[in-house]
Each structure stands twice: as C-alpha cells, then as structure tokens.
Structure 1
Amino acid sequence: MGPQHGLPGFIVSLLLAIVGETQAAHEPLKPQKVQFQSRNFHNVLHWQPGKVLAGNASLYFVQYKMYGQRQWKNKQGCWGIQGLFCDLTNETSDIQEPYYARVRTASAGVFSGWSVTRRFTSWWEKSFIRG
C-alpha cells in the first residue's frame, strides 16, 4: 500500500528535505572552536572561521546569557564585526555564575547556525598572568 496522506504528505516530506539540505549547506559557515579565554578575570570569547570562510570578509554576531536564563542578549560591540574575538568581561562579571556565549556568521547574505560555548564560569577557568 502507498502512503495514506497522498499529496500533502509528499509536500511536507519535500519541504523537510529542502530545509535539511539548506541547513547542511550553511553548516560550513558555522564558526569553529568557540570558547572563552579568561586571563585575570578578563573574559574574551574567541572563535575560528567556518571551514569555507578562511580569509573571507564575513561578519560575526555574538550573543550571551547567564546559565538558567531563557533569552540570549546581543553583545552590541560585537554585532556584525569582522574580528574573531569579543570581549565579554562586563557581561560575565559575576565570577561565580556560569555563562554561555554563541556566535554565528553571515556571508553574502547567508547566515550560519549558532555555535555555542560550553558552560563558562570565570572563577573556575581563570588564569593569572604576572606582569
């Protein structure tokens, strides 16, 4: 027997396949190795360009949130930037609270998915540099 839903079922399957292909096509745009680096409680998010974007004039968009919060917040100074880092010291100032950050890429009008850090608590992940 054939599918019971006929044409509507076929259309839904086709749309899901197209969405899956589009997401897979944008996957190489996603920033790689997104992580916090903390020196003397100065917390900077770093990342590398996606696999197909090395040397490209891509733009990056950064958001952050405290663990347990639902809403992500845009980091204004790191919204549509070309650099590969973002200072989140002020946004992660409570050294005992855990935070997350995420970054996405835009290139030629196409946006990647978000690349999210692991949970970050600056008290546990700090390093001190004498100078």
Structure 2
Amino acid sequence: MGTAFACSRSSSVASVPGETSRVVAAVARGAGTFPPSAGDADAIAEAVRTSSFTANVPPQNYEVTGTTLAASDPSWALTELRPTVADLDRAEGVLHHTGSGWELVQLGTYEVGCGVAPEAVLDDLGLQCPPRDGAVFPT
C-alpha cells in the first residue's frame, strides 16, 4: 500500500502541541455507510493526527474529511486525508473503535482496509481488495 504519509511502526503516540488540522463535514460514500456524530468525527480526526502513521506529517498539511462509518459494524470508519500542500498525496485511512477509543489501523492509497477490516465492512465502505486464495475478479 503506497502513501506519501510517513509510516512508522512505533507504538508511541505522536503529539504536536498547538497544531491542528481542519475537520471537514462527512460525505456519505454509499448506502452501506453513514456519517459519524460530531463527537466521533472529532475523535476520529484526533486519532488520525496522533497516529504513528501521520507522525512525520504536520497536521496543518492535511484535512481529515469525508469520514463515514460502516453500517454493518459502526466500530469501523473510513476517512480521507486531503493535502493542503502541493508535495503530499491524498490518502485514505481505516480506523477501528475499541475500548480504548478510535485507532488508525491502516493508511494508504491502494488496497486500504485489506487484511484488517471484515469483508462486510469493506463492502460497506466501498473498499476493494485482491481476491483471496487465488480467486479471480469477476468480469
């Protein structure tokens, strides 16, 4: 999965005091999704900004936008990181809500959600993954 966002495997939480990115209103992606509450949208944006996946990207360099929740399991979300600067690519992030809150579990531009989210969630969010077990895509 490719991305211009720096991805580290550190388990530490990154924090950039005094800097925030803008949260833009959610846009429904399909019938299998719905927008998060204002509280969840804020928590999702904060999870993105404090993730190790975005630790090396200044928060003012992107907006967290288009966040939707999966209808089949609203503990899964998809959001877009839209760049506000020219030298950064757009990316999508998949988040999961557990007992400790929202966590960005995958970030990228290709095959986002594959291998981490359940099939029903992938379908709801409109995410496509390669076939499993050598199957071929339908034509």
Q: Which has the higher contact order (CA 8 A, sep 6+)?
A: 1
Q: Per residue, is there more helix in 1 or in 2?
A: 1
Q: Which has the larger radius of gyration?
A: 1
Normalised TM-score (structure 2): 0.30
Normalised TM-score (structure 1): 0.31
